[in-house]
Structure 1
């Protein structure tokens, strides 16, 4: 789905990933669930392009519902996969700490599980080889994505700022739809390693010039990054 010039979304409000289309090729931000490979193919066809036009995939963090088709893209098409060094092991192996789940409502939680099953989310293949990146890196990819470290949800969580797309991709640094409660609106994401640190990290995107803040779960948020931290804190913990 096209959101704006250069900016496209794959998936839906349950799980989403994003595509940045430029004259120099395509950069992907996250890889959703394995079944989103079909969404990727449809979006590429709508642009008159193919997988060969993808220059790189940047992960906002190493959790399974963001890895989706990453290994397929890497192993079958030679597309490099970039992830923060602190989440490299997570992306390669799935190793992560157990965290408190927090509030749950049966309907939304079952809906999230059902959608994940339909999109082959229980069969995620971890990424065998990754290119490690760090806070402040400007990647040599279409759109010149800038990496902003946002530890909290995971040690290597990042935001990806792409000025060409007028967007900041935040992964699970926040959510606009809580997958376990169905509550809508900007709020902290569930399954977060260190919730307090995650809230502090939201301040790191405040000065970025952008009109879109795009999470991995929930509706795209048309707002200034300067408003993000205040708005999420005002909303309280998702539930």
Structure 2
């Protein structure tokens, strides 16, 4: 789905990742689920591009529903995979603490599970080698992504600010569709390691200049990061 010049979404409101298309090549933000590979090839084809035009994958964190096809790109096309140092082990091995899921409803929860099954999400392929990044880094990738540390959902959760796309990608720092309850609108994400820290981290994006706030789960929101942060806090 094309959202704006340079900006495309793969997937849907259950799980999504994003493609930034520039004259210098393509940057991916997250890699969804393994089955999103077909979505990627379809979007690339519509742009007259191929996986060889991808210069890097930037992970907002290392959870399995965000690393999807990253290892396939790395091993078959030599695409580097970037992740915050604090989430490098999670992206490479899947090791993470057990956290409370919180509220859930059968319909949405089964819908999330069913979608993950269809997209091979229950057989994650972890990333064999990652390039570690840190808060404040400006990556030498198309769009010059700026890394903003957002610890809470995981220790190495980040937002990725890409001015050329007028967007900030927030991963699971917040959600606009709760995958376990189906509730829509800005809210804290489930499966968060440290909910209080995640809320505090929202201050990190409040001052960014962007028209799009793009989560890994839920609809894209065309609103300022500061306003969306306030709305998340109002329902927490």
What is the TM-score normalised by the length of structure 2?
0.99
Alpha-carbon separation, structure 1, partners of 2:47 and 2:206: 32
State the partner residue of 1:228.
Answer: 228
TM-fit CA distance, 1:151: 0.0
Alpha-carbon separation, structure 2, partners of 1:219 and 1:143: 22
Alpha-carbon separation, structure 1, partners of 2:231 and 2:90: 30
Alpha-carbon separation, structure 1, partners of 2:180 and 2:225: 25
TM-fit CA distance, 1:228: 2.2
Alpha-carbon RMSD: 0.5
Alpha-carbon separation, structure 2, partners of 1:160 and 1:125: 23
Aligned ranges for residues 154-169 of structure 1 at < 5 Å? 154-169=154-169
Q: Is contact 1:202-1:228 (8 Å) kept?
A: no
Q: Is contact 1:174-1:215 (8 Å) kept?
A: yes
Alpha-carbon separation, structure 2, partners of 1:133 and 1:178: 28
State the partner residue of 2:61.
Answer: 61
State the partner residue of 1:41.
Answer: 41
State the partner residue of 1:211.
Answer: 211
Alpha-carbon separation, structure 2, partners of 1:201 and 1:103: 22
Aligned ranges for residues 1-239 of structure 1 at < 5 Å? 1-236=1-236
Alpha-carbon separation, structure 2, partners of 1:37 and 1:76: 13
Alpha-carbon separation, structure 1, partners of 2:25 and 2:12: 24
TM-fit CA distance, 1:161: 0.2
Alpha-carbon separation, structure 2, partners of 1:227 and 1:111: 29
Alpha-carbon separation, structure 1, partners of 2:12 and 2:18: 11
**SS state at 1:72 partner:** helix
Alpha-carbon separation, structure 1, partners of 2:220 and 2:55: 24
Q: Residue by residue, what CA displacement relative to the aligned partner does 1:68-126 show, whole Å, maximum 9, x if unpaired? A: 00000001110000000000000000000000110010000000000000000011100
Alpha-carbon separation, structure 2, partners of 1:228 and 1:157: 18
Alpha-carbon separation, structure 1, partners of 2:8 and 2:25: 14
**SS state at 2:48 partner:** coil
TM-fit CA distance, 1:229: 1.9
Runs of 4 or more, structure 1, over 3 Å off, are none
Q: Is contact 1:33-1:116 (8 Å) kept?
A: yes
Alpha-carbon separation, structure 2, partners of 1:123 and 1:78: 22
Runs of 5+ unmatched residues, structure 1: none
Q: Is contact 1:16-1:217 (8 Å) kept?
A: yes
**SS state at 1:123 partner:** coil
